[in-house]
Amino acid sequence: MESRRGFIRNTALATAALQVGAVSNIFAKSNTSKGKKGKMKLSFMPYTLELAHVFTLATSSRTSTPDVLTKIEFDGLVGYGEASMPPYLGESIESVCSFLSKVDLSQFNDPTEMEKILDYVDNIAPLNKAAKAAVDIALHDLVGKIIGQPWWKIWGYDTGKMPDTSYTIGIDKPNVVRQKTKEAAPYKILKVKLGRDTDKELIETIRSVTDKPICVDVNQGWTDRNFAVEMAHWLSEKGVVFIEQGMPKERVEDNAYLTEHSPIPTFADESFQRLPDVIKCHGVYSGINIKLMKSTGLREGHRMLELARALNMKIMIGCMTETSCGISAAAQLAPMVDYADLDGNLLIKNDAFSGMKIVDGKVTLNDKPGIGAIPTKTLKFP
């Protein structure tokens, strides 16, 4: 325990070193020349995701998401990973490539030493969660292939209990919302972003077309707790099944008040990033939304899931805009969650992998070892 704390102290120096200097010359390169059996080799390449539709949030809109693909080679096997960096999370292609260039996996000769390897990666620098996830996911893919099993099997999960995945209906004019709702026929749960003056109108518009369960993501949009509780009751009457991040994350007591007085569960999203946050969210929210790009990947994501289950919290597995690589990794946890929100790969035009599928509205895992994601095009890693 003490040695770990010492390690964390020492990384302050590493971090300072990392923040110095230009990063342009380290883009898209392999960080070790050793690719032979017995050594792991990490490679990475920027891969900008082209969005199928303009993505609109309350404060911005964009047509692409910065992304970096990774691979780890060892003994003839290849594991793939990914970092997705929606701008509001504070990472970029530059920061991810800078971080990955510091990761020296050639010092390890056994990929199954995941605790040791990922402790090392986590201690290279603080933050950099998507970059860490990109190593974690590729390592899980590699180790699953070494073991010869998908991770949901290694964890012993039961694919007979897969959750429905929600499909997001974007904010738009009523006739477009009605059309999109009809197009979402294969999905059993709809998701909408709230936090505008037109929230009730949006819900009513969807309800004019379907009585499917709806979940709402408020993105911290409610600022008055009595208003929030009133909305929770109104939404519950309209068949909304849960509320994600109703009030600003720093207002812990208000969020706890909402959870206590809401007839439907509340989920932490912005309030929730890494493992110790599970404990902080316990009693404040009904559940958590696990996203690999915030959890630093599957190892900590899996621990969050098991911890939240032990605390009788509800669990959602979510995603960013990602290829089927990151989505398939996240889907390995799906057998144990209450809700899945894994449609990030459906929002891009240039997916580079095939893997987890949504079949009849349900997350459906394949039997392939590792994370179950297979490249669908030639990926020119340097």
Distance CA 362, CA 188 (A): 8
Shortest reach from residue 288's CB to a second copy, in Å: 13
Question: Cα–chain-centroid distance for residue 158?
Answer: 21
H or E stretch at 308: helix 298-310
Helix (H, G, I), strand (E, B) or coil at 378: coil
What's the rounded Cα separation, in Å, for the pair 325 and 144?
14
For a second copy, the binding residues in 45-64 under the rule CB under 8 A are none
Choose which of 90, 126, 148, 283 interacts with a second copy (CB under 8 A).
Answer: 148
In this complex, which beta carbon is closest to a second copy, that of residue 112 or of residue 198? 112
Residue 155 or 257: the one with the smaller Cβ distance to a second copy is: 155
Q: Does 76 bind a second copy (CB under 8 A)?
A: no
Two tokens, residue 62: 């964009």
Binding to a second copy, residues 111-130 (CB under 8 A):
112-116, 118-119
Among residue numbers 316 through 335, which ones bind a second copy (CB under 8 A)? 335
Q: Whose Cβ is closer to a second copy: residue 156's or residue 382's?
A: 156
Residue 183 is given by DSSP the state: H
Instruction: Please say which residue, 190 or 278, places its beta carbon nearer to a second copy.
Output: 278
Quick count: other Cβ atoms within 10 Å of Cβ 227? 13
Query: Using CA atoms, how far apart are residues 2 and 13, in angstroms rounded to an integer?
Result: 18
Q: Which of 80, 157, 167, 339 binds a second copy (CB under 8 A)?
A: 157
Q: Which residue from 44, 129, 42 is spatially nearest to 90, judged by alpha carbons? A: 129
- Is 94 or 277 the residue whose CB approaches a second copy more closely? 277
- Residues between 295 and 314 with contacts to a second copy, criterion CB under 8 A: 299, 303, 306-307, 310-311, 314
Burial level of 16, CB count in 10 A (0-12/13-18/19+)? exposed
β-strand pairing of 49-56 with 41-46 = unpaired
Binds a second copy by CB under 8 A, chosen from 14, 147, 256, 374: 147
278 near a second copy (CB under 8 A): yes
Cβ at position 156, least distance to a second copy in Å: 3
Q: Tell me how far apart the alpha carbons of residues 86 and 64 are, in angstroms, rounded to a whole number.
A: 9
Q: Which is nearer to a second copy, 59 or 312 (CB)?
A: 312
- Is 149 a binding residue for a second copy by CB under 8 A? The answer is yes
User: Of residues 174-193, which lie at the interface with a second copy (CB under 8 A)?
Assistant: none
Among 59, 76, 88, 158, binds a second copy (CB under 8 A): 158
Question: Phi first, then psi: what are they for 121, rounded to 5°?
Answer: -60, -45
If the CB atoms of residues 68 and 336 are measured against a second copy, the closer one turns out to be 336
Window of 69-77, 167-175, 273-281, 324-332 that interacts with a second copy by CB under 8 A: 273-281
Please give the size of the binding site for a second copy, defined by CB under 8 A: 33
Residue 211 found at the interface with a second copy (CB under 8 A): no
Residues 368, 150: Cα–Cα separation, whole Å = 6
Distances (CA, A) of 273 to 72, 233, 288, 295: 25, 28, 9, 6
Q: Phi and psi dihedrals of 117, rounded to 5?
A: -65, -45
| Residues making contact with a second copy (CB under 8 A) | 1, 112-116, 118-119, 143, 147-149, 153-158, 160, 275-276, 278-279, 299, 303, 306-307, 310-311, 314, 335-336, 338
